[in-house]
Each structure stands twice: as C-alpha cells, then as structure tokens.
Amino acid sequence: MSIVEKLPLVCFPHAGSGTLYYSKWKFALSDGIDFRVVQYPLREQRANTPMPASLPLLARDIFTELVDSFRGTYAIWGHSMGSIIGYEVAKLCQQRLDDPPLMFFTSGSAAPCDRGFTSVSDLDTQEGIRRVLREYGGLSEENLADPDFMNFFAPIIGGDLRLLGGYQDLAFAQLQCPIVVMKGRDDRVVTDQWQRYTEFPVETTEFDGGHFFVEERRPEVAAFMESKIQLMWQRKRASVS
C-alpha cells in the first residue's frame, strides 16, 4: 500500500466484544494502516468502568478519550452494534472538530434509523440471553452451556444490547464522507437505509457468510477495506496538490 503516513483505521467492535477479538486484524492489514480498536466499558482493562446510560453518551466518552485518533485523516469501521457507535462518534468528529472520516465502513448493521435490537426483555435471564446469542451466532453451544462463561459474559453482552435496544435515530444527520456497507450473504440484517446518512453514493458489497462474515472472511474483508482507503486517500491528496 502506497501510504507514506500510517492512516488510522478505528474499529468499533460488535456487542459483547473487545480489543482481543479484533487483535488479529492488524496482521491482515498492511503497514500503511494504523489499526486501532475501541475498548468499551465492562471488559478487559476497563472491566470496572461502568457503562454509560445511553449509546450517545458512550459515543461521547469514546470521542473524548480518543480525540487525537480523529484529527487529520482517518477511517472508521464498525461491525454490528459498533457501526451505530461509530456513526455517533463520526457525528461528533464533524460537529466538534470539523473533521469527518475519510471513509465510514459498516458491516453487519442496519442503519441508525432502523431499530437494531428489540428483545431487551430477553436480557433479564441467562436463558433469554442464550436465545439472543443463538440468533446472532458467533458462540458455540459449549460456551452457552458453560455456567462460568455465561456468568462472566452475560453482564457484558447484556449491557451492550440494552444500550442498542434503547437507541433509535430519527434525525438522519449525514456524514460528510462516503459510506461503504458490507454484509454477509446469509445475514438477515437489512442495510438499505444507510443512503439516508450521506450525500455520497453508498456502495454495498456482499461476502460469503452470516452475521460474523468479517471473521470468517478476514483477509478478504481487510483487503477490500484497504483498497477503498487507498483509493480515497489518493483522491484526497490529488485534490489538495
């Protein structure tokens, strides 16, 4: 990749996930990409940090903590719930820094105006959480049947999904950058409303797999995102030269 400076690609993980899950991605990308993963509360090094009361408040905290990552040229990628958090952060970058991302990648996610999670009542019991997790996939039955794993994981995924269940955007604030939608061919998520969120034509690309196609197709997805970043970066540099 012919990027002289490292370009930050800021990754917003899906519900229940964290930096460890996405640690292998930096090896799938070239040295020209500075891959950074956002760490949410309730997990890993932030296990004792309480979750904010709403998804926009979480986005505000992330923006404040990582503001230096959003100065200059950077890209954002969010998977599933991470797409909505990433969108809220991108809005803050525009409003407070006048610096939108070079490109916004969303995978496995409906647009912010579509209700992304409607089963909040299922989160009150571990069996309900198991039903939700079976629907989304990504975890083995062995994990779901392990009491120690569920005692550890249920508060994390439950906290994330409660935030998502309480969120719905009706303002349709547009990002001042292209949006690239990635989805799995076997995923039931509907992505057709993302065009509301940018004046640029939205590009939608499908990959083999379900909701977690990004992990199943990691090299392919990484190469795709990098090629798009490279093209946009070259266009931006040419426009100012």
User: Tens digits of per-residue pLDDT, 47-89?
Assistant: 999 999 999 999 999 999 999 999 999 999 999 999 999 999 9
Residue 241: pLDDT band with limits 50, 70, 90:
low
Residue spans of the domains in the chain: they are 7-113+170-240
Give the model confidence (pLDDT) of 177-214 as tens digits. 999 999 999 999 999 999 999 999 999 999 999 999 99
- Residue 218 CA from chain centroid, whole number: 15
Cα dihedral 19/229/55/39 (nearest 10): 20
CATH number for the domain whose boundaries are 7-113+170-240: 3.40.50.1820
CA separation for the pair 61, 126 (Å, rounded): 29
DSSP state of 135: H
CA separation for the pair 17, 44 (Å, rounded): 10
